[in-house]
Amino acid sequence: AVNLRPESRRFAIDIGGSLAKLLYVQREDEARQELGIKKLDETWPGAQLSVHIPEIGFILNFFAFETRNINDLVKFLRENWGSGISSKDVRATGGGAVKYAENFREELAVVLNHLDEMDCLVRGLNFLLTKAQREVYIFDHEPLLSAAMSEPASPSVFPDLENSRKFVDASDDPFPYLLVNIGSGVSIIKVTGFGEYERVSGSSLGGGTFWGLSRLLTNCKTFDEVIELTKSGNNSKVDMLVGDIYGGEYGKIAGLDASVIAASFGKVVMKKEAPDVYGWAGMWKQFVRAIKGSSYLWLNFLLSTPALGRFLRWMGYDKKTQEKLANLGLRSAFSANDVALSLLRMVAFNIGQIAYLNSKRYDVQRIYFGGNFIRDHPYTLAAISFAVRFWSNGETQALFLQHDGFLGVIGAFLGNDD
Ligand code: ADP
């Protein structure tokens, strides 16, 4: 049974490279506490998530904050619970539990009791697999799945997620299985029993890569904005497809359909540099680009005007701007939504493939995907499901979790004495 005494036991924290997760546990019969949700919504819309697990009689309230704003989490704790948790141990996992231990001690007088990250992930997942109903699901949306390789996004095939989840029942004996946890990076863990596991592989191309490159290549301010963009994207404008190389499918040898991605982002290579246009037409073109783009595009527009342009060139702004624009110019030839979808599929396909290869290597049939990279994003679910199905010739199906991003914090909450 889960013990909620002392009071600090109600909390657990998992601070990863990208996100800091908080769990606050209440008993079913307790009055629901109104937490500072409103303020939270400004930090990260939809950050709060609560789940009721009737099997254990508890309500688990989950919150997430961006780790770069770790003080928001500290403030959130202080404002909602104040002295209730002070000078007590709070169970915590993830690298940030070590890195930010001082912040918690100084600001809240809270001592973080650090638990091993992999232990917590596995313990959290084992708990959900054996105790929670309607937790594990298969993404079952054929139109999106069959469009997963490179077809343009079509809002009309956009799934109503509730009806696209096919739930799998909890089981007393879920072993062996692979956990592919997609956080900032990727960990692949083979689990053979309660507390019995081995981290067999991993990848540095994970959620952090997707989100990091998205920040570089698009103007998105939040992760959810990028995900929104992907929904109107067409990655075949950015990716080099088999059809782009062959002018059709490469059927004879490999059975590769024309729509298969040959090289993610390869179409950027195929693009010819646009010649710069001078005179009035050039000025107009630069003006339009400047409206759409950054301060360098504005500078370039001003450079294209006769008198001011001559002055700015004399001041040496020409060369600097041209250097910056060499990159920006190529960037502006691609739309952010296409780039976002291409990135998402690149990262998700790659992880799906590595996951499948490891399931073969260790002869494990069940593959669970966790981590906040997934959440409930249809394209991510479709791309991972598609990759696993494609590489396994339809033999293996990717398994997802309703609380994919909170495995570690659940494990930390349960502690070592479950
Ligand atoms: P970690 O413990 O390494 O922080 P998580 O499992 O919490 O890993 O997943 C972090 C990843 O989740 C990010 O790299 C990003 O791809 C994705 N993500 C989902 N939602 C957000 C968000 N609101 N802000 C930032 N990243 C998010």
Residue 289 lies in a domain: yes
Residue 232 lies in a domain: no
* Domain containing residue 167: CATH number: 3.30.420.40
- Domain identity same for 311 and 372: no
Instruction: Tell me, yes or no, whether 307 and 347 share the same domain.
Output: no
* ipTM greater than cut 0.95: yes
Ligand 1 atom closest to Cα of residue 21: 7
- Asked whether residue 2 is domain-assigned, the answer is no
Ligand 1 centroid to residue 372 C-alpha, Å: 5
Residue 418 has pLDDT above 50, yes or no: no
Give me ligand 1 centre to Cα 297, in Å: 32
CA of 18 to the centre of ligand 1 (A): 5
- Ligand 1 atom at shortest distance from the alpha carbon of 44: 23
Our answer on whether the CB atom of 16 is closer than 6 Å to any ligand 1 atom is yes
Asked if residue 17 and residue 85 are part of one domain, the reply reads yes
Within 10 angstroms of residue 249's Cβ, the number of other Cβ atoms is 16
Kindly state whether residues 148 and 116 are assigned to the same domain. no
Same domain for 85 and 156 = no
Q: 278 with 381, same domain? A: no
Q: Which amino acid residue places its CA nearest to atom 21 of ligand 1?
A: 223
pLDDT confidence bin for 317, thresholds 50/70/90: confident
Query: Per the domain annotation, does 242 fall within a domain?
Result: no
286 lines ligand 1 (CB under 6 A): no
Flag whether 174 is in a domain.
Answer: yes
Percent of the chain whose predicted confidence (pLDDT) is above 70: 83
Q: Are 13 and 106 contained in the same domain?
A: yes
Q: Residue 81 is part of which domain span?
A: 7-128+408-414
- Flag whether 285 is in a domain: yes
Same domain? 307 vs 326: yes
Atom of ligand 1 nearest to the CA of 370: 6
Query: Which of 397, 304, 311 is closest to 352 using CA atoms?
Result: 397
- 328 with 343, same domain: the answer is no
- For ligand 1, the distance from its centroid to the CA atom of residue 365, given in whole angstroms, is 27
pLDDT single digits (tens) 138-149: 999 888 887 767
Task: Tell me how many degrees the CA angle 177-59-186 measures, rounded to the nearest 5.
Answer: 35
Range 150-176 average pLDDT: 79
Q: Is the CB of 225 under 6 A from ligand 1?
A: no
Ligand 1 center to 250 CA (angstroms):
37
Of 197, 178, 196, which Cα lies nearest the Cα of 188?
A: 178
- At residue 316, the pLDDT reads 83
Of 41-55, 149-163, 257-271, minimum mean pLDDT range: 41-55
Give the pLDDT score at 328: 64
- Cβ of 282 closer than 6 Å to ligand 1, yes or no, is no
Query: Is any ligand 1 atom within 6 A of the Cβ of residue 207?
Result: yes
Highest mean pLDDT among 60-64, 149-153, 292-296: 60-64
Residues 151 and 168 in one domain: yes
* pLDDT, position 247: 84
Domains: count for the chain: 3
pLDDT (tens digit, 9 = 90+) per residue, 19-60? 999 998 888 777 666 565 545 555 554 455 666 666 667 888
pLDDT bucket at 370, cuts 50 / 70 / 90: very high
Structure tokens given for 217: 């290549």
**pLDDT by residue (tens digit) across 105-142?**
999 889 999 999 999 999 999 999 998 888 999 999 88
Q: In terms of pLDDT, which residue wins out, 14 or 276?
A: 14
Atom number, ligand 1, closest to the C-alpha of residue 14: 2
Inside any domain, residue 256: no
CATH number for the domain that contains residue 35: 3.30.420.510
Tell me how far the alpha carbon of residue 341 lies from the centroid of ligand 1, in angstroms.
17
Supply the pLDDT for residue 120: 98
